[in-house]
Chain A
Amino acid sequence: MLRQLGKRLIASVIVLIAISIFSFALVRLDGADPARMLAGELASDQEVEDMRVRMGLDKPVVQQYLTYMNNVLHGDLGYSWAFSMPVSELFAIRIPQTLRISVLGILWACVFSIILGVIAGIHQGSGVDFFAMFFAVVGQSMSTVWLGFMLILIFAVKLGWLPVQGVQGARSLIMPCLCVGFGTAAHQTRLMRSGMVDVLREDYVTATRARGISRNKTYFKYALKNALLPIVTNIGGQIGRLVSGAVVVENIFNLPGMGQALITGINQRDYQLVQSFLLFTAALLVVCNMLADIVYTIIDPRITFN
Chain B
Amino acid sequence: MKLSTVLRRMRKNRLFMIGFCLLLILILLCSSAKLWIHWNPEVGSLRERLIPPDYFTDGLQGHPFGTDALGRDVLSRLFVGGRISLRIAVIVTVISMALGALVGMVSAFYGGIIDMVLMRICDILAALPQMLMALTIIAFLGNSMGVLIFTLTVSGWVGTARLVRSAVLAMKNKEFISASRVLGASDWRIIWKELFPNTLTQLLIDASGHLGGTILVETNLSYLGLGIAPPTPTWGNMIADGRTYLSSCPWIVVFPGIALALTVLGFNFLGDGIRDVFDPKNTD
Contacts and interface: CB of A to CB of B under 8 A. Distances in A.
Interface stretch (A44-52, A58-66, A119-127, A241-249): A241-249
B257 A157 contact: no
Interface in A249-300: 251-252, 262-263, 266-267, 274, 278, 281-282, 285-286
A149 interface: yes
Contacts of A267: 139
Nearest to B139: A266
A244 B220 contact: yes
Interface string B252-274: 01101100111011001100000
A14 B120 CA distance: 9
Nearest to A143: B219
A235 to B, nearest CB: 14
Given A143-B219, A266-B139, A241 B261 contact: no
Contacts of A175: none
A236 B269 CA distance: 25
Interface in B134-159: 135-137, 139-142
A244 B129 contact: yes
Contacts of A153: 246-247, 250, 253
A241 B220 CA distance: 12
A146 B261 contact: yes
B224 A243 contact: no
A281 B132 contact: yes
Interface centre among B139, B256, B265 (most CB of A within 10 A): B139
Interface residues of A, number: 44
Given A19-B127, A282-B127, A144 B220 contact: yes
A233 to B, nearest CB: 13
Contacts of B113: none
A240 interface: yes
B253 A263 contact: no
Interface stretch (B64-72, B104-112, B175-183, B237-245): B237-245
A145 interface: yes
A247 B123 contact: no
A11 B253 contact: no
Interface string A221-251: 0000000000000000000110110011001
B128 to A, nearest CB: 6
B264 A152 contact: no
B240 A145 contact: yes
Interface stretch (A25-33, A86-94, A105-113, A203-211): A25-33
A142 B264 CA distance: 8
A15 interface: yes
B246 A15 contact: no
A188 interface: no
Contacts of A143: 216, 219-220, 236, 239, 257, 260-261
Contacts of B220: 143-145, 244, 248
Interface in A183-227: none
Contacts of A14: 120, 124
B136 A274 contact: yes
B170 to A, nearest CB: 16
Nearest to B265: A141
A18 interface: yes
Contacts of A99: none
Contact of B129 (A140, A157, A243, A263): A243
A146 B238 CA distance: 11
A201 to B, nearest CB: 12
A130 B212 CA distance: 22
Contacts of B139: 266-267, 274
Interface in A140-197: 140-146, 149-150, 152-153, 157
Given A243-B129, A248-B224, A15 B124 contact: yes
Nearest to B138: A266
Given A26-B140, A243-B132, A149 B243 contact: yes
B131 interface: yes
Nearest to B263: A141
A137 B265 contact: yes
A252 B136 CA distance: 19
A96 B214 CA distance: 30
Contacts of A150: 253-254, 257
Interface string A9-38: 001001110110011001101100000000
Contact of A11 (B123, B219, B265): B123
B20 interface: no
Contacts of B250: 153
A14 to B, nearest CB: 7
A138 interface: yes
Interface of A: 11, 14-16, 18-19, 22-23, 26-27, 29-30, 137-138, 140-146, 149-150, 152-153, 157, 240-241, 243-244, 247-248, 251-252, 262-263, 266-267, 274, 278, 281-282, 285-286
Closest 5 CB pairs of A and B: A146-B257, A240-B129, A244-B131, A141-B264, A143-B219
Given A26-B136, A146-B239, 4 more contacts: A18-B127, A143-B236, A244-B129, A244-B220
22 contacts: A14-B124, A15-B127, A19-B128, A27-B136, A137-B268, A143-B216, A144-B216, A145-B219, A145-B223, A146-B219, A150-B254, A157-B247, A240-B128, A247-B131, A247-B224, A248-B224, A251-B224, A262-B135, A267-B139, A274-B139, A281-B129, A285-B129
